[in-house]
Amino acid sequence: MTDWANASSWLYTWAMERLPLLLDLSIRLAFILALAWVLRLIARRAIRLIHATVRNRTDSIEDIKRIDTLVRVARYAASVVIFILAAGLALSVLGISVAPLLATAGVAGIAIGFGAQTLVKDVFSGFFVLLENQIRVGDVVSIAGRDGAVEEVTLRYVRLRDYAGDVHFVPNGEITVVTSRSREFAHAVLDVGVHYRDDVDDMFALMKAVAADMRKDKDYALKILDDLEIAGVQDWNASAVTLRARIKTLPLAQWEVRREFLRRLKARFDAAGHEIPYPQVTLSLARETEAVLTDQAARMLTPDPAG
């Protein structure tokens, strides 16, 4: 009984000594977490208000895409900064000095930096990609050998989704050349193969007529920005003459316009009786071989008198 009383007395004394300290630490940590949460809400709300204000001042789709991309990065950066500050304050409340941790992190950072050069390169490249407005969410681009629509842009990578639905994460450090297919305007490039016996000028006139009809169509009138531009004869192929032309369109409408133009042109070819070129081979025989074959054919066609 005496041991139980001693244990209870010790526990009571320990609790009275430690409980105020634990309560004080809990209140401080809760205050830091609440403050971090409030700051995060304020930052997100401020970014949202700035976003709405800036978007209302422009009607350009290009500017809106750029603003949306920068807002996503700003929201992410604000969350990271608030988290780092909250973690530093929490460590100070717990009695852990931040200065030695920073010094250790500095030394370790030098060592890790040699092994994290790719990560640093990705971050720096991503910063300049955003700063120079090279890539924006919603663009259709070709980067690092991958094509697709941009779904996300961060300081470390760009996320693309191609036509088949496959998603590609391209590190920013691998981006050396950006080919954008959705800036300001585009061209639907048309390579049309026609038969050698067809008159080229007639084919050009037929192509212009098809393009003019498309500009009158309500489904394509707003997507096509200019008349058909004839480049001329592009190439002489083995079985066809290739004619090249292009149509100026809205961004991302070039593929739809090209497919519809070729569909209508095929219908015009069929209606006018123009033959679609197909591979042809011309057989040339030596004179001796030709004479022998001619003689054999004549014998086969000449009736046998004895017969």
> Which CATH number do you get for residue 174?
2.30.30.60
Shared domain check, 51 and 75: yes
The answer on 11 and 76 residing in a single domain is yes
Model pTM score:
0.60
Shared domain check, 197 and 146: no
Do both 56 and 31 map to the same domain? Answer: yes
The verdict on residue 280 lying in a domain is no
Number of domains present in the structure of the chain: 3
The per-residue pLDDT for range 27-84, each reduced to its tens digit, is 777 888 888 888 888 888 888 888 787 777 776 666 676 677 777 777 777 887 888 8
CATH label of the domain that carries residue 111: 1.10.287.1260
Any idea how long the chain is?
A: 307
Q: Which tens digits make up the pLDDT trace of 105-151?
A: 555 555 455 555 677 777 778 778 877 778 888 889 999 889 999 99
142 and 165: one domain? yes
Q: How would you write 254-305 as a 3-class SS string?
A: HHHHHHHHHHHHHHHHHHHCCCCCCCCCCCCCCHHHHHHHHHHHHHHHCCCC
- Range(s) of the domain holding residue 204: 186-272
In terms of domains, do 97 and 21 share one? yes
Same domain for 7 and 106? yes
